[in-house]
A and B are shown apart, each in its own frame.
Chain A
């Protein structure tokens, strides 16, 4: 029953905003939970509370067996945290950063140095080890930041949006690094705005919005609710939206919905074959289209399917899901 992370009824309010509104989390030991949601959904707040950076207004939690409120110092000994904004010192070298963190975990001088060297090697940063971090690329910084989080080999790891802002290559690299980590039995709670990232890395996904859980399940379960691939049609005239929606509805496994003005989207299976059939039907109905695409579901689609509205403050859509 007791997992590596157990949180019950976490609440955090700022003056008018309720950042967390009674969130429960259960992460069994050695598994990966992704907290999926748009900006402002409360993901960072949840991680900050579990990493002892913030005090919840209500609720309780244990992390790696230590009670969050009663013994935060004990929690800090058992966790690693890597934030959304790479929290490494840009004037120090990669080695100096990791060495410092090791010392602050009280590994001892020799052990901290050895550990820093080993991690730099493992994260493919040895060549840059003695260069100030400000000369690093975004992906290198993220890897160093992640290395900093695992200096003390903590049983529980929190990663807050580990790939936000990385280019697709940096993202893929980061995924590889994270997978290798998890393979060693670390329990991981990660936050992300990307359904694909949650799909790639997590055993279990909690979708949150406005500080509340709105869905919970494996990637497959969520996809079953959202549909696998989606077809998206943008029509040129507002009058064509409804006819296009009706056509999509015929071919869709789920329901076609109006995503934005003049854009209709629906889950579809059958890949390019089904895609061609839809195109033919659109042609037959003489609907003028501006754009038609087939793509994998994004956070927006999850939100559409689960709540009927788009993820509210999402600035970034999934960048690498286009297949049109």
Chain B
């Protein structure tokens, strides 16, 4: 079988296996879906009245940030899933099979998109309940969700690489928190980046998580009229800047992860 076809077939087999596992262990899915609901409710009701968004409502502002944060956190599942496969020894079986060398990773990152689709859907419903609204057409809204998913997919390759580097699920959960918390908090996710002090503000403005958040807000129409134009290029061109990151992350981390998979004992 030729290379690309084999990659597609093998990745499909692996993705199917991962989907079966999602169905067999629904507890995981429940937690995946409950935590974004919790975040929406906590931020909406705890910070909702103390953070002022000029000309708009904090809840409208918040949802784009929660979306971005949740899909980035969702990438942890990719790393945890791979670390688990290694701990259980099934990775050795895969590595001794005459299958495509990228399929375990391609299949894994593909099946993990399901988590993100479901959590975006749940969050959107929760958001609608607490007062978030789409102010744009269906195409733009769809583009917003697609962009979030694309970013999530790219980020899951980062965690795939990390998952192959670390020895256990526990380590990856802790390690990813150390990266993902700063990345999603030093951003415009929960407060406008202009409110942050010096260095943090610069980080936030160039942080791709800010760009994907900004892009989602634009595409959902959650930026109140009269809000001043952002002062930096990444936020002025949030969609383009996000797409650049998506391509760059995959271009760097997919080969790194596949190479690691080939060599890992």
Q: Which residues of A contact B (CB under 8 A)?
A: 48, 51-55, 73, 76-77, 79, 81, 83, 85-92, 96, 100-101, 103-106, 132, 148
Contacts and interface: CB of A to CB of B under 8 A. Distances in A.
Contacts of B13: 100, 103-104
Contacts of A105: 97-99
A86 B89 CA distance: 7
**Interface residue tally of chain B, by bracket?**
20 to 34
Given A73-B98, A76-B97, A90-B88, A106 B25 contact: no
Given A53-B265, A100-B17, A87 B90 contact: yes
A88 B90 contact: yes
Contact of A81 (B6, B88, B93, B263): B93
B61 to A, nearest CB: 40
Contact of B25 (A77, A83, A91): A91
A52 B95 CA distance: 8
A154 B13 CA distance: 21
A106 B94 contact: no
Nearest to A78: B98
B88 A104 contact: no
B129 interface: no
**Ranked 4 nearest A-B pairs via Cβ:** A87-B89, A87-B93, A76-B98, A77-B98
A88 B90 CA distance: 6
Contacts of B9: 103, 106
A104 to B, nearest CB: 4
Interface in B1-41: 1, 6, 9-10, 13, 16-17, 20-21, 24-25
B21 A83 contact: no
Given A76-B98, A77-B98, A89 B21 contact: yes
A103 B94 CA distance: 12
Given A79-B96, A91-B24, A92-B17, A48 B90 contact: no
Interface string B75-96: 0000000000000111011111
7 contacts: A51-B96, A53-B95, A54-B265, A55-B263, A96-B17, A101-B97, A103-B9
A100 B104 CA distance: 12
A187 to B, nearest CB: 16
Given A76-B97, A77-B98, A88-B93, 8 more contacts: A54-B265, A76-B98, A81-B96, A85-B88, A87-B92, A92-B21, A96-B20, A105-B97
A91 B89 contact: no
A48 B265 contact: yes
A100 B92 CA distance: 15
A283 to B, nearest CB: 53
A104 B92 contact: no
Contacts of A83: 89, 92-93
Interface string B148-166: 0000000000000000000
A100 B97 CA distance: 11
Which of A100, A101, A148 is most buried by chain B, counting CB atoms within 10 A of its CB?
Answer: A100
Contact of B1 (A51, A86, A106): A106
Given A53-B265, A100-B13, A106-B9, A91 B96 contact: no
B89 A85 contact: yes
Contacts of B89: 83, 85-87
B97 A104 contact: yes
B6 A106 contact: yes
